[in-house]
Structures are given as C-alpha cells and as structure tokens.
Amino acid sequence: MKNTLKIILLLLVLFNFVGCGYTPSSKFARQTLGEKISTSVVISALDPENTVLIKDAVDSSLIQVFHSSLVDKNISDTHLVLKMSEPLYTPIIYDSNGYIIGYRMSITLFISRYHNGVSTKYTTRGNFDFKVAPNAVVTDKDRFDAIKVSAEKAIRAFIAQVSAEGARAKE
C-alpha cells in the first residue's frame, strides 16, 4: 500500500513538472504582433465621434489581452490601422403593439496590420443587442454604448484571428 501511494505521489509530481503543454492564445497573438504596438483609426466623416470610441476600445483591448505597450508608430513592431463601417441598427424585438423594443447594433472593422514590411488585412464584426422603451428613439448614450460594446467584440474577433495565425505559424 505504501509503495502504491509513493508511486502515485511520484507520478503527480512528474505530471506537475511536465505540464500539459497548454499555451494561452494571447501568447500566440503577442508573437504575431510583437511587444510594441501602435494604432491609428481612420476617422469617419459620417460618424466622427464614434472613431474615438473605437480607438479607446482597441487600445484598451490590446493592453488587457496582450499586455503589450502602446507606442509611437516610429518605434512599433506592429502598426494597426482601423476603419469602421457605418453602424447598422436592426430591429430584433417588437412588443405586442408592433413597437420596436430591441435593436441589434452591428459594426464591421477593417483592420490593416503592418509588421516587418508585410501588410495583412482583416475584417471583423461585432454585434450587441439592446432594449429601448416602446415607441422611443435611441438615445445618444444607448447608441454610444452599443457601438463601444460591438467594437470591443469585433476587436476580440480580430485577436482570435491573430492568435490562430500565431498558433499555425508555430506548427
């Protein structure tokens, strides 16, 4: 019995040192993008105030997910240029009187990644569903919140694409 316990304990210690081989996807993305990243956003003539939301969401996501430094374009490993499509509102929920009480905000981001003299283009989408009072107009706050959340989801989709690229490159 004692020998069996010793063997089990030894195996547990060995498994602990060997590990499972798991690598977080953010590591693959960081390998693809580098440690120093710069970003710029193409300002939309139709919706300039949302450009600031997109820029903030991108910078915040890059810091949170990659733990990368945001730097000036001249010293960056990777430069990202983002352009947002016009936000699209789609009614998705109606009340019993036929009034719209729920919308889906859809954002498409067009991202160009410049790394080591190579340009790669990505298209990502983000959606956010939100409710409004029956027969009410969408307020600016609702609109800005929906755009911000949709943009963050689109950026997360971009991060997933870059992570997958990094994982494939490792193989």
pLDDT tens by residue, 45-85:
777 777 777 777 777 777 776 677 788 888 888 898 988 88
Mean pLDDT of the chain: 81
The encoded tokens of residue 150 equal 């949709």
**Residue 25 and residue 112: Cα distance in Å, rounded?**
20
Which of the four CATH numbers 3.30.160.150, 3.90.660.10, 3.40.47.10, 2.10.10.90 does domain 21-170 have? 3.30.160.150
pLDDT digits (tens, 9 = 90+) for 1-50: 667 877 887 777 766 666 656 666 667 667 777 778 888 888 777 777 77
99, burial (CB in 10 Å: exposed 0-12, middle 13-18, buried 19+): middle
| Residue 156 pLDDT grade (very low, low, confident, very high; cuts 50, 70, 90) | confident
84 and 107 Cβ atoms separated by less than 8 Å: yes
The encoded tokens of residue 18 equal 């060997």
> Please, how many CA atoms are within 13 Å of residue 59, restricted to the half-sphere of its CB?
14
pLDDT digits (tens, 9 = 90+) for 89-123: 899 999 898 888 999 999 899 999 998 888 999 99
pLDDT at 129: 94
